[in-house]
Structure 1
């Protein structure tokens, strides 16, 4: 069982795992965009602030994932 757990943790740090995480974050960005649009239409300031903070978290997460992806690329001789 611990072998399966270590494989799952390793997947998160793999190139494929990072791409899956980035895609998931991109869907989060779409949700935040829709939330911002709805809050602006409803003139709901509190929901707008919540949506902007959520969007900032998504952007930060994507930046971290991109950095991790670049680090994986730095280890690859063929990618330079």
Structure 2
């Protein structure tokens, strides 16, 4: 079981894992966009603020994942 767990942790730090994390995070943007649209239609300021904060979290998360992906790429160059 420990071997499987270490493989899963390794996948999370791999390029494929990073791309999957980015796709999953970006998929959350669809939900936030729907939330924002509904909030605008209903003139619900609190939900609109919530959507904006969620969108900021998604952008930040994608930026962090992109930075990690670049670091992985830089490490590959150094190893070669």
CA distance in 1 between counterparts of 2:70 and 2:16 reads 13
CA distance in 1 between counterparts of 2:77 and 2:55 reads 35
Give the CA RMSD over aligned residues: 1.2
Higher relative contact order (CA 8 A, sep 6+): 2
TM-score (norm 2): 0.93
Aligned to 2:46: 46
CA distance in 2 between counterparts of 1:22 and 1:77 reads 22
In the alignment of these two chains, the number of paired residues is 78
CA distance in 2 between counterparts of 1:13 and 1:61 reads 15
Is 1:3 aligned to residue 3 of structure 2?
yes
Could you tell me how far 1:74 is from its partner in structure 2? 0.4
Gapped regions of structure 1 (runs ≥ 5): none
CA distance in 1 between counterparts of 2:36 and 2:53 reads 10
Could you tell me how far 1:65 is from its partner in structure 2? 0.2
Map 1:1-80; keep pairs closer than 5 Å. Answer: 1-77=1-77
Gapped regions of structure 2 (runs ≥ 5): none
